[in-house]
Structure 1
Amino acid sequence: MSDARPRVLLTNAIHPEAHARLAASADVVVAADTAAATLRQAAIGCAVVVVRSQLPDDIFAAAPSLIGVVRHGAGVDMIPIDDASARGVLVANVPGVNANAVAEHVLRSMLSLARRSSEVSIALEQGGWAAARVAAEQGVELRGRTLGLVGFGHVGRAVARVAHHGLGMQVLAHSRTPWHEPDHVAPATLDDLMARSDVVVLACPLTPQTRGLVGAPQLAHMRRGSWLVNVARGPVVDEAALLDALARGHLAGAALDVFDVQPLPADHPFRHMPQVLVTPHAAGVSVDSMRAMGLGAVQAVEQLLRGECPATCVNRQALPAYLARLTVRSTPSA
């Protein structure tokens, strides 16, 4: 490879400590914004991209110098993986490091829904102390109630642990990936989980199989008065069906961190429903998780720049083409 320092593109800023570590071995470029045209132009001449925003589908055609992409987090749906593999570009992620942050967010969300925090705050502001007390009397406790987890990876396991051991909830889980369930978690089909759960938490990756997984039929299976928490991806849920279930009162409420369109438009009905808690795709974001994800991403970048395959590579089928590209790059001209 050339003696010139490699260039690494960040679609968004990362933790200062991680940025400083990366800058010690590469020239770091932070995209001016996350528009597709901006990312295409900024990636030209770069060796690796660290991803926190959606990449354009033609990023690798626009920037043939790319040898690797690292997702700052776990979900890789922001990356055109098939095209990366076809072009010998390795894709890695940083799984599990923000699972505790997401689990704490889910815990807060479930408690807020169960204790009707939004309704109590509105009643206090509009009707005073007595009205807020009346609203609070409609809240319930979560102890002994059933939590259903759709997805049982790092996040699902962390949520199950705090819900069962911290709140005394019964836990069901549904996953397409085989797993050995802990003693405090019972496996369930999706329909069974929906029918038996007081709270359903979506914590699965977005794949062709999970896109639209929860639609009107699945929501109809849920208990009347139950809650839905989505920390997966927006397209896992049919938003129109969810809006209908909430408007009809079939569901008592929802906590939504992800949406079909992000940022969520200002006029979207979810923003104006007191039984819906809206957060800006921030469930896994904290000072601690941002540092951990940043350092994990930088470690993977460093491995790629050394010509190694990161341990968290998600497209190992591209490794032979990746290594062949490195051989060509390192061969001196005649």
Structure 2
Amino acid sequence: MPKILVTRRTFSEAAEALRASGAEVVIWDGEDAPSHQDLIDAVADVDGLYAHITNQVNDEVMDAAPNLKVISEFGVGYDNIDVNAANERGIAVCNTPGILSESTADEAFALLASMARRTYGLPAMVKRGEWGDFDPLGLLASDIHHKTLGIVGMGNIGSEMAKRAAGFNMNVLYYNRNRRDEEFGATYVDSLEEILERSDFVSLHNPLTPETTNMMSIDQFKLMKKSAILINTTRGPVVDQDALYEALVAGEIAGAALDVTVPEPIPADHPLLTLDNCLIMPHVASATYDTRMKMAMMCVENVLAGIAGDWPPYCVNETYISCTARLKA
């Protein structure tokens, strides 16, 4: 009987679908994610791994799992999985592409709007009884319409962000490795520097790679308008948080809204949490019932296909393991 490990609690429908396959299904139901050692211990006889962003699935984990055929990541990004190590061992790596693009763009635009119109802080002021008398120059916010949005990374999520901005009559620029055939009304610029200099809002949607780690740091913040707002819903390491703190304190940029941080969760005593012009969400851009359910069922499809000896529908490394895949052994 094949064995499947799910490293966090999941929807009952997903659990039932896994069990209906006849496999033994183990669901980690602890309050916290398994530690790295817990994960190593748990995968000894596992054929399929349904993993999450908090799991570092490296060569050590894979070597502890001689039967492991397939790893399905609950999400689009899979930088927590050592894909090179998986390729060397013939293990299929999968993700859940496309399904969370709209939900993530919804949150990114909500963060933009909240920062622009100050809906993140002013309600708390009202609750403290600090509304005060009418002041024509008080509590001023920023318009969204006719402002310039710079999108860094025009993949599925960046494209959805451009669509939402168009509905608010924004001027949209984008910077991407390649110019898109379909641009959704946005204008391509060929350098990060230009998009930073021209934008009132900068929204990051690029993947995390060695080249994009700390992509936004001291020099980049100095290029931005002093009135500009940064939105990050991609990966925490793309932004140098120490440099961001200094830029926010010095007034080099007006504000930042982050759905992702380094580390996660961000420590309660982190300096960014002391700033009124920094809004931080607990990595929930895809966290709607509908989207997370679809993601869970895509993971089920991936894992069940892999343990049955079939190519998972959302495999990211099929080309590299086509001749060595364990699922075909």
**TM-score normalised according to structure 2 size:** 0.92
CA gap of 1:305–1:125, structure 2 versus 1, over 3 A, is same
Match of 1:11 among 4, 7, 13: 7
Q: Is the 8 A contact 1:40 1:56 kept in 2?
A: no
Point out where structure 1 has 5 or more consecutive residues left out of the alignment: 328-334
Q: Distance in 2 between matches of 1:60 and 1:54?
A: 12
1:49-88 paired onto structure 2 within 5 Å: 49-52=49-52, 53-57=54-58, 58-88=60-90
Match of 1:314 in 2: 316
Match of 2:112 in 1: 110
CA gap of 1:116–1:132, structure 2 versus 1, over 3 A, is farther
How far off is 1:71 after superposition?
A: 0.9
CA gap of 1:126–1:181, structure 2 versus 1, over 3 A, is same
Q: One-letter code of the match for 2:66?
A: P
Moved more, 301-310 or 81-90: 301-310
Match of 2:246 in 1: 244
2:102 corresponds to 1:100: yes
Q: Percent identity?
A: 31
Q: One-letter code of the match for 2:323?
A: P
How far off is 1:136 after superposition?
A: 6.5
Match of 1:330 in 2: none
1:170-249 paired onto structure 2 within 5 Å: 170-188=171-189, 189-249=191-251
Runs of 4+ residues over 3 Å off in structure 1? 131-137
How far off is 1:131 after superposition?
A: 6.5
Match of 1:288 in 2: 290
Q: Distance in 2 between matches of 1:104 and 1:121?
A: 21
Q: Distance in 2 between matches of 1:132 and 1:23?
A: 62
Q: Distance in 2 between matches of 1:120 and 1:208?
A: 38
Q: Distance in 2 between matches of 1:286 and 1:86?
A: 36
Point out where structure 2 has 5 or more consecutive residues left out of the alignment: none
CA gap of 1:301–1:242, structure 2 versus 1, over 3 A, is same
Match of 1:23 in 2: 19
Q: One-letter code of the match for 2:11?
A: H
Q: Is the 8 A contact 1:116 1:136 kept in 2?
A: no
Match of 1:146 among 145, 148, 155: 148
Paired residues, what number? Answer: 321
